[in-house]
Structure 1
C-alpha cells in the first residue's frame, strides 16, 4: 500500500472511528440515564408496595428486594423472607442514591413512613445483563459501519490515487528525457487538471528544447561568421596581401564584426543577470516624455537612412523607473519597428498619461504568436536578432511591474505597448 493511500485511509477512517466511539459512548450514556430513570421509578413503586403491605400486615412479594429500618433495627425482605442485617451504609443514603457492593453498582430508593424507613434496591442498568444486547447491537453496527467505510474508502482511494501514481511514473519518464510519454486518462476533477498541466508542461519542454537547439545553432552561426571574417582578414593582413588603399575598409570590417560579437555577448550576459535577479533596478524619478524624445532623436538618422519617418507624440509624464533599463526596452521596440517597417512608411511613437506605444506599418505579429515572442530564443519573422531583445524587455518590464504586450496597429502593422498604473 502506498504512503498516499495510507494517508487517505487514515484521513477518512480516523474521524469515522472517533465519531463512532463518541456515538457509542453517548448512546450508552443516554440509554443508561433513561434506564436509571425507569429503575428509580420502579424502586419508588416497590417502596410503596412495601409500605402498603406493612400497613395492611400482609406479606411483601418475594420478587421485591429491600430493607426496613425501625427503631435502629434493619431487616432484609424478599427472597428468603425477613432477616436482620447490619448495614450502617443505609443510614447515610439520600432518597435516590447508589452504592457499591462487591464491585457492583446498585441503585437505592428510601421512603420514610413515620418511624419506619423503607429502602428498595436494584442493580444499576449499565451493569445489568438486560442491556448487554443493546450494547452488543450498537457495537456490531459500529464495527460493520467501520468495515464498510474501510472497504469503500479503499476502493475510492484507489480510484483517486491510481492516476496520481501513473502521473508520478510519467513525470519520472519526462524527467529522464522521454518525449513519447502517454498520460493517464483525465478524470473530470482536480486530478484531471493536474494531468492537463503536466501535458502542457511536456509540450512546453519539447518546445523549449527545440527553441534552445535553434538558439544554440543560431548563436553558433552568429559567432562563427564574424570570427571567420576577422580571422580571414587578419591572416590577409599578416600575409601582406591586402593593398594599402584597402586597409581602412579591412580594419573597419574587423571592428564592425568585433562590435557584433560584443553586442551578442552583452545581450546574453544581460539576460542571464536579469533572469537570475543579479541586476537590481536603480529607480529614480524620470521625465518619461524627455526620455522618449531624446531616444528617438538619437535614432532619427538611422531611420532616415532606411527611408523611414520616425514620428514622436508625447505628453508630460513622470514615473519612478530605472532609466537605463527602460531606455533599453524602448530602443528594442524602435529597432524592431525599424526592421519591420517597409521603406517610405512611418514609425509612430506615442506617449500618453497611461500608455507608451510604438507602431509600424509592417506585417504585424500573428495573434497566436503574441504570447511567445517574449520568450527566450524566439525571433520575429524577418528579424535579424538572436531572440534576446524581447526576452530581455520582458524581464525588465516585469521587474518594473508594468503591463505590456502587442496588438494590431492603425498603421497596418504591429503596436507594441507599455501601460502605466
Structure 2
C-alpha cells in the first residue's frame, strides 16, 4: 500500500482545516443568529412598547380609565394596527369608541360634570387584525392596570414578561407587558430563520469547494520547486555536481533553490580541489621517491660511486620528502583544529629577527636586497613562538623562491590600532589580480609548471594562514608597490595600546 505523498498530505491538511473551520463557523453562525434574531424580535417589541406609551396615556386621560379596552378588547388591537394612534393623537381623535359595557367603571370621579363623556367613534367591523408586521409583536403585547392585573392583549403574561409603565403626570396608571420570544414561533419568522440557515450551509459548502481548489493550487505551486530541489539533491548524491535548480521566485522557496545552487557549486569546487589535491600529492611524493630510487639503483649497479656528493644528493631528496610529509600532516591537523599551540606573551620583533637571520645569506646568494623597518621596542603578542617562527619562515621562503635575482625584499612592522601589522613586500615578478585569493589554497602555485627548482609544493602559505587564524590574526595578499607581492600579517596585541 502506497503512502500518500507530500502533495496529497498538504491537500488533505488544507481541506480538512477548511472543512472544520466551515463547520465551526456554521454552528457558531446558527447559535449567534438564533440568539441575535430573538434579541432583534424582542428589541422590536420594546420599541413598539415605547411608541404605545404616549397614546395609552392620552387614552386613559380622555376616557378616565381603561374601561374601553376592558369592555371591548377589539379596541386594543385597533390601537396596535398600522394607522392606529400616533404619538400626538388623543382618544377623541380616534381612541376608544362607544361600546356595550359600563364606561363609568374605573373613572377617577363619579361626577358627570367633571368628566364629560368622550366623543364616539365607530367600532371596527370584523375580527381584530392578527398582527401588524412580520415580527408578531402585536400578538405578544398586553395591557395591565396599575396593580398589574390583565386588561387586554395577550393573556399569557408571565413573570418573565418585559414591562414598561404608562405614566400620567408622574403617576403610574398602568403597564404595557411584552411576552418575550423564547424561540421562533411565527411562520414568517421560522421561514426567515430557515432561509438564513440554508444560506449559511450553502456558503459553507462553497467555501469548502473554494478551499479544495486553493489547496490543489497551493500544493502544486509550493511543492513544484521542492520537487525540483529533491530531484537536484538526488542528482548531487549521484555525483552530478553540474545540477542546478531554477529559483523562479524571491520567497523562501526561491532562497532555498539559490542555496541549493550554491551548495552544488561548492561541492563541485570541493570535488575539483579533491582531485587536484590527490594529483598534487601523488606528484609531489612520486618525484623525490623516483629520484631516490634512481640514485639508489645507480649506486647498486655501480653506475655511481658512493661519494659524499651522492650521499648529500640522497639526503637532499630525503629532506624534501620529509618536509612534504610533515607539511601534509600539519595541514591535516590544522584542518581539524588539532595543531598544538603553547601560547605565551612573546616579543614578535625578536621572533622576526630570529627568523630572518638564517635567510640573510641565502637572500644574498640570490642577489636579493633585504630591508628591515622594525620598531626598537618590544611588541608583545600572545603566541606560540615556534609556530610563529614557522609562519614567518614560510613567508620568507615564499619571497626567496619567487623573487627575481637583483630584486628587493622589504619587511616592515608597525602598530595599527590594537593590532601589529607585518608587511612582506618583494619585487617582480608580480601576481595576477585573480590569482591573489588562491595563494592560500593548498598546492596552488602561480606558475603552471611544476618546476621544483623555483617552487615548493604549495603548502607553505596554506599552513601559514591556518597558524595566523589560530593566533586570532589574519594573513592576506595584495600587489606590492615594489612590483611583486605584499603579504600582510595581522596579530592582536597582548596589551592593547602598546
Same fold flag (TM > 0.5): yes
Distance 1:126 1:325 in 2: 94
Equivalent residue in structure 1 for 2:445, among 364, 379, 382: 379
Residue in structure 1 matched with residue 308 of structure 2 by the alignment: 248
Give the deviation of 1:268 after TM superposition.
0.9
Residue 9 and residue 416 in structure 1: after superposition, are their counterparts in 2 closer, same or farther (change >3 A)?
A: farther
Distance 2:467 2:184 in 1: 77
Distance 1:19 1:292 in 2: 79
Q: Find out whether 1:45 has 2:48 as its counterpart.
A: yes
Residue 20 and residue 265 in structure 1: after superposition, are their counterparts in 2 closer, same or farther (change >3 A)?
A: farther
Could you tell me which runs of 5 or more consecutive residues in structure 1 were left unpaired when the two chains were aligned.
Answer: 94-107
SS at match of 1:419: strand
Could you tell me which runs of 5 or more consecutive residues in structure 2 were left unpaired when the two chains were aligned.
Answer: 60-65, 78-129, 132-138, 167-171, 449-453, 493-498
Distance 2:300 2:386 in 1: 41
Equivalent residue in structure 2 for 1:56, among 36, 47, 68: 68
Residue in structure 1 matched with residue 463 of structure 2 by the alignment: 392
Residue in structure 1 matched with residue 473 of structure 2 by the alignment: 402
Q: Find out whether 1:3 has 2:56 as its counterpart.
A: no
Distance 1:11 1:247 in 2: 88
Distance 1:324 1:155 in 2: 65
Q: Per-residue displacement from partner, 1:327-372 (whole Å, max 9, x unpaired)?
A: 3222222211111110010111111112221111133222222223
Distance 1:358 1:309 in 2: 13
Residue in structure 1 matched with residue 432 of structure 2 by the alignment: 366
Give the deviation of 1:279 after TM superposition.
2.2
SS at match of 1:123: coil
Of the structure 1 ranges 329-338 and 48-57, higher mean CA displacement relative to structure 2 is found in 48-57
| Count, aligned residues | 395
Structure with the largest fraction of helix: 1
Give the deviation of 1:25 after TM superposition.
4.6
Q: Find out whether 1:272 has 2:272 as its counterpart.
A: no
SS at match of 2:437: coil
Q: Per-residue displacement from partner, 1:262-321 (whole Å, max 9, x unpaired)?
A: 111111111111111222543322222222222112322222222212222123532223
Distance 2:18 2:325 in 1: 62
SS at match of 1:209: helix
Equivalent residue in structure 2 for 1:329, among 378, 391, 408: 391
2:382–2:471 Cα contact (<8 Å) kept: no
Distance 1:321 1:384 in 2: 29
CA RMSD of aligned residues (A): 4.0
| Structure ID, larger Rg | 2
Residue in structure 1 matched with residue 345 of structure 2 by the alignment: 285
Equivalent residue in structure 2 for 1:346, among 408, 412, 415: 408
Give the deviation of 1:408 after TM superposition.
1.0
**TM-score (structure 1 length as normaliser):** 0.77
Distance 1:31 1:280 in 2: 81
Residue in structure 1 matched with residue 163 of structure 2 by the alignment: 110
Distance 1:409 1:18 in 2: 71
Q: Find out whether 1:205 has 2:267 as its counterpart.
A: yes
Distance 1:7 1:377 in 2: 50
Counterparts of 1:18-417 in structure 2, within 5 Å, are 25=28, 29=32, 32-33=35-36, 36=39, 39-43=42-46, 45-46=48-49, 52=56, 54=66, 56-57=68-69, 58-59=72-73, 60-61=76-77, 62-63=130-131, 64-65=139-140, 77-78=153-154, 82=155, 90-91=158-159, 93=160, 108-111=161-164, 119-123=177-181, 129=190, 130-134=192-196, 136-138=198-200, 140-141=202-203, 143-145=205-207, 147-152=209-214, 154-181=216-243, 183-190=244-251, 191-235=253-297, 237=299, 242-243=304-305, 246-315=306-375, 316-354=378-416, 355-381=421-447, 384-417=455-488
Of the structure 1 ranges 48-57 and 326-335, higher mean CA displacement relative to structure 2 is found in 48-57
